[in-house]
């Protein structure tokens, strides 16, 4: 398997499966001299971890990160930052019921096709468990970028959408409700809907919006590594993501240029921000705004028809504790990946001019 | 500037600006022994080139590609394939009217912020002229992947959408109309609308859909380099793109798991394809389907307010020959980028099993 | 710090300092389906570990590697292989005597210049402790390449050289003496010399030779990643290495072409092997032979003048348990790095032809 | 073929064969705002080009470099710098006599083994013609690093060595003799020897030494990308190179630590420089010194036995105009590669501290 690294200069490499002993990662390229608050790292992991509220999976997993290198007397030394997170919840249980089963809309079939074998005790490497490493690394990246702000929130759960503009939202509200929606009334509806869906043994998708603030102009590398192209890759690499748009996004494709162009103020800021803070792949100093679509979780507490590795039809039903909707926990992952992208561009940009 | 390369094993690196002498690129990693039909490469360039129909820019640019290395007696030798495309149309004209002007929703401002100077004779490196190199390289990638099919088409122009399912479309129709829409009736409406928009000195956005067929299961690298994540980066790196979705995309986020899961047939194919041909970042053998949103072209034939590099308000109006809508030409670029992504994964996959 | 990864397809990334809690690494890109004998990995670590004989450092360090991912039911799954090795011997001792001291010919000064701070409790990241991770990963690479042989040995300690040709050596002898010299008589002299040097509180350098056997023709990527160029980087990246040569090496520069050319036999093998198994950066099927020069260890048990971080002259003397000569332990590291290089080229070569 | 790129941030990618239409390259990552003197680039190419003196190949090749992008009004813009050099001397001659022949100690056999076919009209991609691109790019790197000095020279031709220390040499002499030796008396002997060897239809190897001056402390990335490890790869990637050593090199392996350690002066400089300007992979501010061994040219003007692709014995003799000794021309290539390595580390080092 290739592709377990992300970034050019601020580079995260991760390892680990859902049912192995531990997951972990290495951050290579974090500059020396950065004071790191490890409590902030742990706090971000709390936002992603299972069991945090009544509407997420009730699996218990402490998700304690242990840093093994790269930090001395509270500061980064410039050497690689290695860390591990134990899989406390993995059990040497009985997996014979899923060993040969290809669960619908899971990666069981594709892993078998690609690798010829797989760790059948769960999602293995395709489990979203891996994203805990991203959140840990993203929390380091955020500290490198202190001043920039990363604000993700739930903008839709199923068909329940936040029908307000970013300016009308109360971001202080986000962590006040288990859905992480910046509008308490909508949050209540979303929460009720998730509970209803769960009671049906079903699941539902949703949308996360994210705003990156206080971004200096000049970040991003034109052509293949445009700021929004790397953000897009980052978001699409998160489990269950089906789409990415920034600024005006898909709705911008229905507009005319005379509506869509962002006219300048005299200070270089723009009156509107259909651009989403990026022109030609480079940040323009405005807020970077983007949206990420998540599909409904594939594991249902309902009977489903499927096949086994012999191609025989069988019937199966999910067991255990799964999320009815990933969006509330995904908010932390979206912010983390955004921070990884921006940290990389921040470092790259130090070499753009003599 | 970093980021002028794309791909890990099948790797394209490009150079060149809109007003330099030539643009070009190097394909590194194309296997030896591939019979290359250079006419097919030129034919793809024709689909992207300016002046091809009444609804695109009337700029004349022959876009003849010249291969300089890596091919001997009609076959690739395994050595890097270098190529150049002359900029026949660049003129040493008078650019004083735009030299210090920041055009709205162009990259003038961000390049100046990032690099401290820029080639002010046009879009420079941020011009979509650069994508001609991608089309040339994509045409090589397509030949490496012979058997796989890449079918992109115009799915929307402004608010005029193709309201049919892929199965109802006539792909033979795509090259029969200047819009590249696989439905002649919709194509007619789109064409008329583009002409109307142009007569107003305005521009309009649109959506390109793409279907990759005959994909073997097993392509794609899970985690950060998921098949759809790299496709997303590839598409978002095309000029004017604002969004990317695959399979069910944004609409999938409003669905329930019980609707969205793709149930298996006994042969491993699935009854529905909300997954868009990818599970866990790996192709599952079904068609890969995705959509790309393009914003309206920023250069208008209308007066617009803007500022110059001194921060002074000025008024400007586009000159010359520009596209009222990029979508008809972008179809070739979308296919080319898709082919580059798939060629890379095709080669990577040769090393996934012992 | 960048550069903690090695390889393109078979890629090792490492972390860890001499006095942190643990060191470790991630192998990304090992193909699925490889049966891994973890005892062989541990056995290679034994060959590198301190305290293994009377002529190496007497530091006690069990160097037990723990694999955390990527292996299931005895086989690789294709997912990244994460591993850690605890630093059992690191002590929270008193380092005030070296905290501000720049030890001669160590990396204290350069780390401070580069990073502005450093972990002063020992060599930190510049310690050869890091090479334990390379040996662990190299032992995985060797198993991927089963059939190829990697035979390194001590060819010189100080001025005592092995004055025999490879054909005259008894490789079965290598592990029979603590110096790892394939000639028992020379081994005895080397061992006695190392003990004498140590009794003087001094240290000495040496040369390791390595032969890679059963190499298929065709491995290596011409131009910048020539087989011997990557081998050279690999060897020069080992602590204390000052030089690398392959085939005829430096002595070849004094020869005439009529002596140096390797004439072909009818089966494509060559009568001589001044080429060292590589032509144009690609293996030709003959044995790959190379030599690596190691400088004497910089830590002496003698008084030396030096300076502190204030630029003041001071006198210091090494404490603790250090190697009088690194060469006997380096043999395992040389083999490991050679195996990492060859594993990468082995995978890359799967994509060189259609 | 992979591996046609060199560098992480200052990255050169090259293409082209000896008998194609042109060779060329792309420099990605050169910072914006650098004033480039293109005459200096051409001057470096003159030092490498054939026909420059009586002791090198008499092939005529103007080696005019044409820059196609990345430079505007005399300064770099930050966009990739594309360039081509025409192959003026390639002829569509008759190659039937070498088409199926494997020349001894050339890459004909290994290319055929690896790729299954090759451009048989000459060395193709394995020809040292490719190094012209490196010299062009190195001349850009040198200008980025203005202040640093790169001084390579011939230190040995066959068994005739320069028996002087760097301090005793007159570097002003280097370009005054065709051998590029900084001692006129030795230069005379070398020149006479090369002529004698050529009159025998034979060839001879040699050694190039290089000194990089005015290097700031702190350049280089520890572990796998140590400064000297990347320098080593760079040098070993040059055609015909068999060995690399820096500082004390192979002779250092015979020394004791008490002799070899470089004691500090109070200003951080060292009294001796056995380290060769590098500690722990990072520059320490002293001169960087290294030596590169070149084998004798494989093409002889004598009859040699060899085989063809059918494995049949045949006799052959070189035709045309070849170098009897590559060292005088290689001096420019060594400097260029050294400059590429240092430019990359110079940019990387901008991100080592916050």
Closest alpha carbon within chain A to D79? A222
Tell me whether D90 touches chain B (CB under 8 Å).
no
Inspect the interface and report whether the beta carbons of C230 and D225 lie closer than 8 Å.
no
Choose the closest CB to D126 out of C280, C296, C312. C280
pTM strictly above 0.80? yes
CA distances from A145 to A150, A347, D255 (A): 10, 10, 48
| Residue pointed to by tokens 């014995």 | D313
SS3 C153: strand
Task: Could you list the residues of B known to form a binding site, using ranges.
Answer: 48, 125-127, 239-240, 280, 295-299, 321
Q: Which residues of D touch B110 (CB under 8 A)?
A: none
Inspect the interface and report whether the beta carbons of C80 and A114 lie closer than 8 Å.
no
Taking the C-alpha atoms of residue D166 and residue D211, their distance in angstroms, rounded to an integer, is 9
Range from B87-91, C87-91, D60-64, D207-211 that averages highest in pLDDT:
D207-211
How does the average pLDDT of chain C come out, rounded? 94
Within 296-335 of B, beta carbons closer than 8 Å to A belong to: 296-300, 302, 304-307, 311-313
Summarised one tens digit per residue, pLDDT across range D71-128 is 999 999 999 999 999 998 766 566 777 788 999 999 999 999 999 988 888 788 999 9
The answer to whether B334 and B152 have CB atoms below 8 angstroms apart is: yes
Q: How far from each other are the two terminal CA atoms of chain A, in whole angstroms?
A: 38
Give the residue from C236, C271, C285 with the most D CB atoms within 10 Å of its CB, the best one to mutate.
Answer: C236
SS3 C166: helix
Average pLDDT by consecutive 10-residue portion of chain A (354 residues)? 92 95 97 98 95 88 94 96 90 72 94 90 89 98 97 98 84 96 96 96 97 98 97 98 98 98 96 97 98 96 92 86 93 98 98 95
Summarised one tens digit per residue, pLDDT across range D18-31 is 989 999 999 999 99
Q: Would you give the DSSP letter of residue C175? A: G
Within 24-53 of D, beta carbons closer than 8 Å to A belong to: 29, 31-34
Cβ partners under 8 Å of residue D308, min gap 6: D100, D101, D102, D314
Determine the pLDDT at residue D118: 83
Summarised one tens digit per residue, pLDDT across range C194-247 is 999 999 999 999 999 999 999 999 999 999 999 999 999 999 999 999 999 999
Determine the pLDDT at residue B91: 66
Determine the pLDDT at residue B94: 67
Question: Three-state SS string across chain D, please?
Answer: CCCCEECCCCEEEEECCCCCCEEEEEEECCCECCECCHHHHHHHHHHHCCCCCCCCCCCCCCCCEEECCCEECCEECCCCEEEEEECCCCCCCCCCCCCCEECCCCCHHHHHHHHCCCCCCCCHHHCHHHHHHHHHHHHHHHHHCECEEEEEEEEEECCEECCCCHHHCCHHHHHHCCCCCCCHHHHHHHHHHHHHHHHCCCCECEEEEEEEECCCCCCCCCHHHCHHHHHHHHHHCCCCEEEEEECCHHHHCCCEHHHHCCCECCCCCECCCCCCCEECCEECCCCEEEEEEECCCCCCCCEEEEEECCCCEEEEECCCCCCCCCHHHHHHHHHHHHHHHHHHHHHHHHHCEC
Tell me whether B218 touches chain C (CB under 8 Å).
no
Summarised one tens digit per residue, pLDDT across range B52-86 is 998 888 888 889 999 999 999 999 999 999 999 99
DSSP structure string for A308-334: ETTS-EEEEE--S---S-SHHHHHHHH
Taking the C-alpha atoms of residue B310 and residue B102, their distance in angstroms, rounded to an integer, is 10
Q: Which residues of D touch A353 (CB under 8 A)?
A: 31-33, 78
Residue C188, both tokens: 């005895």
Choose the closest CB to B31 out of C33, C347, C353. C353
Closest alpha carbon within chain C to B32? C353
Tell me whether C1 touches chain D (CB under 8 Å).
yes
Determine the pLDDT at residue B77: 96
DSSP structure string for C38-82: HHHHHHHHHHHSTTSSTTS--------EEE-SSEETTEE-SS-EE
Determine the pLDDT at residue C60: 83
Answer yes or no: is pLDDT of C33 > 70.
Answer: yes
Choose the closest CB to B31 out of C29, C347, C351. C351
Question: Cα C172 to the chain's mean position, in Å?
Answer: 20
Tell me whether C7 touches chain A (CB under 8 Å).
no
Tell me whether C221 touches chain D (CB under 8 Å).
yes
Determine the pLDDT at residue A166: 67
Determine the pLDDT at residue B199: 95
CATH of B5-351, one of 3.40.50.970, 3.30.930.10, 3.10.20.30, 3.60.150.10: 3.60.150.10
Determine the pLDDT at residue D92: 59
| A351 to chain D, closest Cα gap in Å | 6
Least confident range of B29-38, B305-314, C66-75, C277-286:
B305-314
Q: Which residues of D touch A140 (CB under 8 A)?
A: none
Q: How far from each other are the two terminal CA atoms of chain D, in whole angstroms?
A: 38
| Number of neighbouring beta carbons within 10 Å of residue D287 | 17
Q: What percent of chain D has pLDDT over 90?
A: 85
Q: Which residues of C touch A78 (CB under 8 A)?
A: 1, 114-115
CA angle B325, B330, B332 (to 5 degrees): 145
| B118 to chain A, closest Cα gap in Å | 12
Taking the C-alpha atoms of residue D333 and residue D240, their distance in angstroms, rounded to an integer, is 12
Domain ranges of chain D: 5-351
Determine the pLDDT at residue D215: 98
Taking the C-alpha atoms of residue C57 and residue D45, their distance in angstroms, rounded to an integer, is 51
Residue B138, both tokens: 């994509």
| A59 to chain C, closest Cα gap in Å | 21
The answer to whether A32 and A115 have CB atoms below 8 angstroms apart is: no
The answer to whether A291 and A247 have CB atoms below 8 angstroms apart is: no
| A190 to chain B, closest Cα gap in Å | 12
Tell me whether D272 touches chain C (CB under 8 Å).
no
What is the pLDDT averaged over residues C43-64? 91
| A7 to chain B, closest Cα gap in Å | 10
Q: Which residues of A touch B128 (CB under 8 A)?
A: none
Inspect the interface and report whether the beta carbons of A353 and D33 lie closer than 8 Å.
yes
Long-range contacts at A230-233 (CB < 8 A, ≥ 24 apart): A230/A341, A230/A344, A230/A345, A230/B233, A231/A288, A231/A290, A231/A337, A231/A338, A231/A341, A232/B229, A232/B232, A232/B233, A232/B235, A232/B236, A232/B244, A233/B224, A233/B229, A233/B230, A233/B232, A233/B233, A233/B236
Choose the closest CB to D236 out of C228, C254, C352. C228
Determine the pLDDT at residue D234: 98
How does the average pLDDT of chain D come out, rounded? 94
Q: A: neighbours with 3+ CB pairs under 8 Å?
A: B, C, D
Question: Cα C330 to the chain's mean position, in Å?
Answer: 5
Tell me whether B147 touches chain C (CB under 8 Å).
no
Closest alpha carbon within chain A to B337? A224
Determine the pLDDT at residue A91: 66
Answer yes or no: is pLDDT of B219 > 80.
Answer: yes
The answer to whether C282 and D108 have CB atoms below 8 angstroms apart is: no
| B152 to chain A, closest Cα gap in Å | 17
Sign of CA dihedral B264, B266, B271, B276: positive
CA angle C292, C298, C302 (to 5 degrees): 140
Q: What percent of chain B has pLDDT over 70?
A: 98
Inspect the interface and report whether the beta carbons of D31 and A78 lie closer than 8 Å.
no
Inspect the interface and report whether the beta carbons of C77 and A21 lie closer than 8 Å.
no
ipTM above 0.90, yes or no: yes
Inspect the interface and report whether the beta carbons of C79 and A24 lie closer than 8 Å.
no
Tell me whether C122 touches chain A (CB under 8 Å).
no
Determine the pLDDT at residue B146: 93
The answer to whether C323 and C120 have CB atoms below 8 angstroms apart is: no
| A5 to chain B, closest Cα gap in Å | 7
Summarised one tens digit per residue, pLDDT across range C73-128 is 999 999 999 999 999 876 656 677 778 899 999 999 999 999 998 888 878 899 99
Q: Which residues of A touch C14 (CB under 8 A)?
A: 26, 80
Tell me whether B20 touches chain D (CB under 8 Å).
yes
A13: which strand partners? A5, A26
Q: What is the dihedral of CA B275, B278, B279, B283, to 10 degrees?
A: 150
Answer yes or no: is pLDDT of C153 > 80.
Answer: yes
SS3 C182: coil
Is A161 annotated to bind a ligand? Reply is no
CA angle A265, A270, A271 (to 5 degrees): 85
| B158 to chain D, closest Cα gap in Å | 33
Q: Would you give the DSSP letter of residue A179? A: T
Nearest CA to D189 out of D159, D160, D154, D152 is that of D160
What is the pLDDT averaged over residues D48-68? 91
| A295 to chain C, closest Cα gap in Å | 24
Taking the C-alpha atoms of residue C31 and residue C348, their distance in angstroms, rounded to an integer, is 12
Answer yes or no: is pLDDT of D334 > 70.
Answer: yes
SS3 A173: helix
Determine the pLDDT at residue A43: 97
Tell me whether C153 touches chain D (CB under 8 Å).
no
DSSP structure string for A186-208: HHHHHHHHHHHHHHTT--B-EEE
Residue A200, both tokens: 């049906």
Determine the pLDDT at residue B145: 98
Determine the pLDDT at residue C347: 98
| Number of neighbouring beta carbons within 10 Å of residue B147 | 8
Answer yes or no: is pLDDT of D195 > 90.
Answer: yes
Inspect the interface and report whether the beta carbons of B80 and D14 lie closer than 8 Å.
yes
DSSP structure string for A68-137: -SSEETTEE-SS-EEEEEE-TT------HHHHTEE-TTSSHHHHHHHHS---TTSSGGGSGGGHHHHHHH
DSSP structure string for A244-302: EEETTHHHHTTSBHHHH--PBPTTS-BS--TTTTEETTEE-SSPEEEEEEEPPPS--SS
Is A299 annotated to bind a ligand? Reply is yes
Determine the pLDDT at residue C123: 83
The answer to whether C11 and C5 have CB atoms below 8 angstroms apart is: yes
Summarised one tens digit per residue, pLDDT across range B255-277 is 999 999 999 999 999 999 999 99
Inspect the interface and report whether the beta carbons of A26 and C23 lie closer than 8 Å.
no
| Number of neighbouring beta carbons within 10 Å of residue B301 | 17
Inspect the interface and report whether the beta carbons of D32 and B116 lie closer than 8 Å.
yes
């Amino acid at each position: 398997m290739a592709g377990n690294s992300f970034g050019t200069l601020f580079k995260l490499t991760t390892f680990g499966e859902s049912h192995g002993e531990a997951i972990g990662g290495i951050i290579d390229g974090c500059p020396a001299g950065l004071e790191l608050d490890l409590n902030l790292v742990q706090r971000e992991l709390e936002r992603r971890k299972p069991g945090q509220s009544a509407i997420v999976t009730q699996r218990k997993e402490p998700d304690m990160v242990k840093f093994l290198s790269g930090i001395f007397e509270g500061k980064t030394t410039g050497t690689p930052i290695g860390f591990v997170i134990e899989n406390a919840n993995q059990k040497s249980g009985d997996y014979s019921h899923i060993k040969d089963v290809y669960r619908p809309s899971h990666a069981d079939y594709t892993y078998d096709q690609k690798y010829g074998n797989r760790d059948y005790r769960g999602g293995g490497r395709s489990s979203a468990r891996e994203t805990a490493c991203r959140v840990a690394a993203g929390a380091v990246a955020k500290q490198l970028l202190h001043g920039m702000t990363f604000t993700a929130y739930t903008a839709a759960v199923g068909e329940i959408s936040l029908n307000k503009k970013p300016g009308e939202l109360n971001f202080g509200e986000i962590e006040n409700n288990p859905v992480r929606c910046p509008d308490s009334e909508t949050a209540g509806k979303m929460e009720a809907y998730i509970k209803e869906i769960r009671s049906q043994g079903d699941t539902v998708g949703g949308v996360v919006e994210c705003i990156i603030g206080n971004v200096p102009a000049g970040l991003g590398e034109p052509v293949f590594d445009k700021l929004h192209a790397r953000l897009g890759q980052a978001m699409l690499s998160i489990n269950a993501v089906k789409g990415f748009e920034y600024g005006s996004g898909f709705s911008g494709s229905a507009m005319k240029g005379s509506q869509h162009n962002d006219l300048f103020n005299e200070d270089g800021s723009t009156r509107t921000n259909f651009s989403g803070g990026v022109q030609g792949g480079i940040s323009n100093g405005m807020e970077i705004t983007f949206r990420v679509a998540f599909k409904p979780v594939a594991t249902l507490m309902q009977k489903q028809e499927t096949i086994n590795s012999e191609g025989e039809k069988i019937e199966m039903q999910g067991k255990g504790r799964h999320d009815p909707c990933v969006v509330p926990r995904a908010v932390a992952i979206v912010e983390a990946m955004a921070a990884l992208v921006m940290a990389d561009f921040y470092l790259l940009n130090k070499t753009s001019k003599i």
